[in-house]
Structure 1
Amino acid sequence: MPGATSIESVSVLLADNEPSFAELAAEMLGRVDETLDVTTVTTAAAALSTVEERDVDCVVSDYDMPGMTGLELLEAVRERDENLPFVLFTGKGSEEIASEAIAAGVTGYLQKKSGREQYTLLANQIRNAVGQYRAETELRQSEQRYERTLTGLHETTRDLMRAGTKHEIYRALVETAGDILDVPIVATYRFEPTAAALEHVASTPGTADTLDPDRTYEQGDGHVWETFSGGELSYVPDVSTGPAPADDRRRQSEVLVPLGSHGLLVTGSEVRDGFDETMIELIQILAANTEAALDRAEREQLLREHDRRLTRKNEELTRLDHTNELVRDITQGIAQATTRAEIETTVCERLAASDRYLAAWLAPRREPWSPSAWAGIDETYADQIRADGADAPEVDLVTAALDQEHVRVVANVLDEPTWDPRRTTTLTHGFQTVLAVPLTGRERRYGAVVVHATAADAVTERERDVLGELGEVIGHAIRSAERTRAMVTDERIEIELDCGDDHLLFNRLRSALDRPIQLEGIFQRTSGLRTCFVRVPADLPPDESDRLADEFTAIDDVSIVSAGEDSTLLDVTVAATPFLETLVEYDTQVVNAATTDSRTTVTLVLPSQIDTRSLVEAIQAGYPDTELVARREHRTETAPDHRPQQVTEHLTEKQLEALHSAHYSGFFEWPRESTGENLAETLDISPPTFHYHLRAAQRKIVDRVLDDRPRR
């Protein structure tokens, strides 16, 4: 151990020009101290040669010798080893020689005398000098080892700081502790916050033979966890009497050092008390350097992740900006289009012309395998879609998009088994991502735009949202174009439906009243409610209207408008029902509705451009027991200026409400079937207000029909 002064065997070189005295002195020193191994020479030259050839712990020399004095020999020895003990043992005892010897740096000075005591004194001087020499030598060597180790640790620190990942740092820590510090047992554990446990990362080969690499230390798990959670170094000189038994049987003593919040370093020795203060300090230095390296790696990892996130966000924002510009371009284009065909063509052409997408085509709702418009693909590809029919892989994509009213994406057609038959074609055309954007407007579904992109997974979530909003804009544009066309054309389609579904309001009224009913007309109130004028046989009990309002959740109010000899006219104010909402979405009007037994026959009029099948399917979705009985097309001969839309377009909502109410209630019949007071009560206004709105509406209509005077 450092600082030890015990001497087991001492090699002594004794130089004296008197051979007999040299032999005597050697024999006497051996008798005084058996640990002294004395070699004699009679010249200084022989002494120097011996010092150079073999290890000598101490030189004892006479002063007077031929060719070189004892002090000159000292100077020569010092040139080879400035710290080697040198005792001047001389017969000349003058103060001048003693002073000169001390000045020259002799370790000891002793004057020759007679008697045994002088050898005892000489042996003591030799033993003390060698003990001090060895202690100083060991200290110097220890310091040199410490410096070399520190240098190695500093070099390792550079390696740690250059390590790219935490695992590389843990690996370098283990190798450094094993190679540079020469610690036989080394293991590192990293803290996993999710599992709240210390998990084994790396260990030296010798450690791995006895230490279970799958061992983890969970919260509160013994001395290892306590040391990590406490954040302070722990030295256990004897694990057999320590706070916890070692899981490695070879480990007799151990030093545990937390690595901050990152984990723990475990070092062990195969002997008890196997770590001195210097080694513990070096282990601490290594652990501190490792912790700094782990902190640096963690910061760099966070910075890299932050940079990656920023890069992704910038890329997403760039793509989103391009998509927004494209959306604005498409929106401006469809705003100038006047027909549905123009809208579909504009959308496909501008999508295909953008840098983001390769091609686009329009999949109709009824037959999604039959493109109605396309751009970026040739007719051969469109014909292949038609040839595949309902088995085309695009059909499932379009159907899902329409059913969910959400953009659906195939991120990579190469990974989709359903696209196997089309894989060669898609690769030939150069696209991998396919998405379907549903076109919806006010609950109407007009099909979907199928868009192709070149790279795999080329569409981000935010981009999908923007495209989804674009689909709604396109849907509303198509709806607006169809409504505009319906306003300027006289072509109409009349269909007759037979519905026996119990959920239909008319069938429920028929069942509740136990008598047939006839719908005279429906109009929407300014409050959002709808008023249905329903005619029933005259024998309706007076309290039936109150009962209906209480019994039906969908009915807001029921009142008797008029009670004649043959029939009673009821005002049934209802909230929105699926049937009525569907008619509004398809711009469809109810011409007539009559119930017989438990079924209702409904006659509807819809614009010619409305898909009759889609309307019927939409009604059947809410009322399955519905059948299409008849379909008729007809064209009216009304003059352009006298179309209903042009005649009533200048009426206010209140005026139109009063006009509808008067018309459907028989107010204009003679004799009148309803009175202004009854209708005012139905509309929840005063009679003068009702008459004011009705007369204003009549005046505007007459002005519109008869001349072009300004209208108020």
Structure 2
Amino acid sequence: MHSGVTVLVCGSDEAAVAETARALARVGDDFELVTADGEATASSVGAVDCIVSDGVDVPPLVAGLRETRPDVPVVVFGTGSADAVDGVLEDSTTDYVQRGTDGQYVVLAHRIEQAVAAADRGSGAVGAGEFDRHGEVIEALDDGVYALDDEGRFVFVNGGMADLTGYDADELLGEHTGVIKDRETVELAESKLAALLSSDDPDDVGTTFELELRRANGETLPCEDHMTVLYGPDGEFRGTAGVIRDITERKRREEMLSALQETSRALMQAPSREAVATIVAGAAERVLGLDMAVVRLYDADERVLRPTATTDAVVERLGERPVYALDEGRPGEVFASGEATTQSEAHELDDADPAVQSGLYFPIGVHGTLSVVSMKPDAFDDIDRQVVALLATNAAAACNRAKREQEVRETRERIATILDRINGLIENTVEVLVEATTREAIEVGVCEQLAATDPYTFAWVGRPDVRGNALLPSEWAGDAAIAMDDLSIPLGDGVPGSVAFTDHTTEILDDLAAADSEWVDRVREAGVASVMAIPLSYTDSTYGVLYVCADEPDAFDDREQVVLEALGRAVANAINAIESGKILSADKVVELEFTVDDRDLLLSRLSASTGATFTSAGAVTQDDGAIRLYLTVEGGDSEAILAELTEDDTVVSATCVAEHEGSSLFDVTVGESLLATLVDHGAVPKAISGESGIVRYTIELPYETEAREVFSLVEDNYGNTDLVGYHEHERPVQTQQEFRASLAERFTDRQETALRTAFLGGFFEWPREVDGDELATAMDISRPTYHQHLRAAQQKVFEELFEG
């Protein structure tokens, strides 16, 4: 560069003047820079070789200096309209440079050198000599800088250009740009240049485009070319200059970003944490080219980090990876601390490992760790660290999502299992309650049904003694070896089961170790882990406590409690009916069936608004007179139905017990209701359903009850009430032979065989003498098919027994 060039930078904006001076100082070490604001005078400024006016509004200072030295070149550096630029160039200004990117400061330095050279020896075309004067500036740049004549041939290249292309500088000089650019890129550059030359917009002095630079060895390099048009003082075209930058790293980032986006999409679809680990290990190898990666997942039960996914290179070079405790190895350390760590020097992974030279260790949230290692020292740059950190972060989010979805799946499966079990338990228990004619039969049947249902292992009923000081076991069933004959549970403070009896409140014992009672000791020794004590209460009467045992802790969640409490109320209701000698002992009964289409009824409102079908699976009168309904619902949105139930003024409480494949089970307590009125008048509800706003009731009344009075009561209080059916009948008497004959007509051969083999084989004995697999094998059919025939046969027996 020509030394001793004094440059005055002036303008009305002091901040802009200072910034331009600092930039010129960076790109031109030999510039002697002087600054002045718009108020300075010519006399206050010494001799200068070039004036730079920062902004198209040239300050008066410039005119003053030109009066004393008219040959001092003036270069305007700014942004303005076409008219403003034309005005500047007409006003004796040597050159104009459009303000833009940092690369324009290099162009500005070049124009200053051109202007000074022209002032010294007259104007001429751009050439190597002019670039020689500021070559030291651009030689310091890593980017390639070049100048072309009007035929597109190199007249100047810097060292950076030679490094990028692989050619010596003197090999490029005089050559056409086609040496390093393919024909398509050359045509693009020429078309852009033509557009720039024909543009009236002063902003159009430069353009940037991407190209594949062709190196001397035939390789290609992705680059970015910033091409600038060069004009002389009189506005004539002087050639073009450009800056070429290697964008390999930027392309690498773009490709990484694209690959990471694909990886993120795959992670968000991963069904499990193990799938997440496999995707992350593969991404480290595919995206970063890091072939030694290990993903460990945290095992909460064992409190260790287990290697779940590894790249092939890890196993080949380091062998099978060990399991780490939370205080072992770098994975254990980063997981426990939550802080990532980087190793750039040799370090051992464990006693059996060869030392690795570099390592990146990142926690994957609360789910595990990601380790990336290399046998080379200082193998990882900032981009590697950033991408590995992003992979670990995305993996943590994906693990969170996969865990939540897995929990949802497990919950749905558990609900489906519970619903199936609940339906079976309710069906079987209702059969027991309907069939039983004595309290003992009710208690035995209920205990047997509960003990046969997982996860329950034992059930018994405790009745109060004569004085009401203790509960004595009356009936029990189950596999647990619990001595019951001499058991007596005292009623008093702190004794489990006392609250259930005295306060009519369910008790749950999830931790038997904390309870101090003789009967608790007995059940704990028998392998029982949790117990639920259910009061058998009907209105003001308590008939005892139903105890249900399970062999696993925390067996009684909210759904279990709702179902078992409902069963307890149903048992108490059945005992009350037997002991009070109500309808079950009547010789004659009246069956009344009617429909009501009135939105004052809860089921009418719900079925009309939700489109679902509601069916009562049982109703129990509570101590306060409220009615507790067990509703099965087909169709409709269970959450919307629960919301309507909760918001309804007549509903005291509502719970969704379970839902499965369009069916839902709700436990609903209502205050004043038509059902309560019917029960008060001695009616026994047999069936209640609501569909499309119409509620259908089927009730039975003792023969002596005036059925017309009950129907009139309903008709007077509710609109659109219609009588559908009215039947008076005695309880039927049927001989054994007639009963068998009627059943035989209803059975298929397979059904009769299934039922007969089950009865004769001891399938209904307790404990069972034969299981379903053996009976199915005997009939040469599958177990599900066998149980289908058996269930169908049982259904027909019960229909003949209870509906005939």
TM-score band w.r.t. shorter chain: 0.3 to 0.5
| Structure whose residues are more often strand by fraction | 2
TM-score between both structures, scaled by the size of structure 2: 0.33
TM-score between both structures, scaled by the size of structure 1: 0.37
Structure showing greater radius of gyration is 1
| Structure whose residues are more often helix by fraction | 1
**Higher-RCO chain (CA-CA 8 Å, sequence separation at least 6):** 1
